[in-house]
Amino acid sequence: MPPQNTPERLSKMTDFDKFMKEVDTCLISKLGLSSNDIADAPWRDYFKDEMEIECCCAMALYDYNDIPFDTLVSIGLGDYI
């Protein structure tokens, strides 16, 4: 199996797959979690609503993972709540 981020693989990814990759990049860099750690978050709805990645992450962390607002502020996502 080729590495995940090769041009061939990325060209076969759907827009939603690309969106989720960006979500995971944001979540991992901010808090060390991935979208799989926030399973109940409505990722597809966020995607359909064309929300910004950081906004999606902040809402999912706050609404579905009970991350306190102060923590969101400290990791740079407080402006989205």
pLDDT of residue 12: 67
pLDDT of residue 5: 62
pLDDT of residue 19: 96
Q: Which residues contact 41 (CB under 8 A, 6 or more apart)?
A: 35, 56, 59, 60, 63, 64, 65
pLDDT of residue 11: 62
Per-residue pLDDT of the chain (81 residues; tens, 9 = 90+): 455 666 666 566 799 999 999 999 999 999 999 999 997 999 999 999 999 999 999 999 999 988 899 999 999 999 988
Global pTM reads 0.80
